[in-house]
Amino acid sequence: MCVSSTRNECTRNPVKFFAILSNQRSGSGRFEALSNCHINVSSNGEIFSVKDRRENISSIFRTLDKVYNLDCLSSASKNECSAAVGLKWMLNQGVMEHHEEVVDYFNCRSVSVIFLLRRNLLRRMVSMLANSYDRHAKSLNGTHKSHVHSSEEADGLSKYKPSINSASLLTQPKDMEMRSAKALEYFNSTRHMILYYEDLMRNLTVSA
């Protein structure tokens, strides 16, 4: 499982591996887009959104191997030598259920974990409700947009004003905090860092 992560044509540029662990509507799409702006960084998206890839630990390992072996088998991911290759992994997509095996895998392959969290849990709840609404309403020219890419799109989606069940305000934020705390506990033995979405938006020069 622990194979070389360098390519012959890039021997002076060894490849580092990373995984962005986050919750939905916590800014991971924005963070990944910023990361991929760098010519030597290749983040492969939310690959475990496909259920077959997280069906069991064997399918998880096969998927991770496919991502982390890509650079040492092919140079197709970027025109230049990639210095960092990774993926985005939501906490409700199998990583928590198989955390012991995934931790061993990450440590074996020297994968750095980036925890991307969101402090303002109320805003995250609003974002989740708005995204769920737009999935059915398709507000922007009949299409659903999980992430906006312009101020015009943002203005269009902001017209929807969700209603929040007051009872959920007592339970959902607590559940969100507990899930994040449990993830930090599970992956404490990995090489990791914690990044908050709000800090990222205040300082776009933050480096991982």
pLDDT for position 6: 47
Instruction: Read off the pTM.
Output: 0.72
Give whole-number Cα distances, 128 to 2, 12, 33, in Å.
Answer: 38, 43, 20
- The label of the residue with tokens 């998927």 reads 63
Task: Please give the C-alpha separations between residue 205 and each of 31, 79, 199, in angstroms, as whole numbers.
Answer: 11, 24, 10
Q: What is the pLDDT of residue 200?
A: 80
Mean pLDDT of the chain: 78
Q: 207 by DSSP, 3-state: which?
A: coil
pLDDT in tens, 94-120: 999 999 999 999 999 999 999 998 887
How confident is the model over 138-186, as pLDDT tens digits? 666 656 455 555 666 656 666 666 777 777 667 776 777 888 899 999 9
Residue 38: the pLDDT is 85
CA 47 – CA 163 distance, rounded (Å): 31
Task: State the architecture of 8-202 in CATH terms.
Answer: 3-Layer(aba) Sandwich (3.40)
16-32: pLDDT as tens digits: 999 999 987 777 888 88
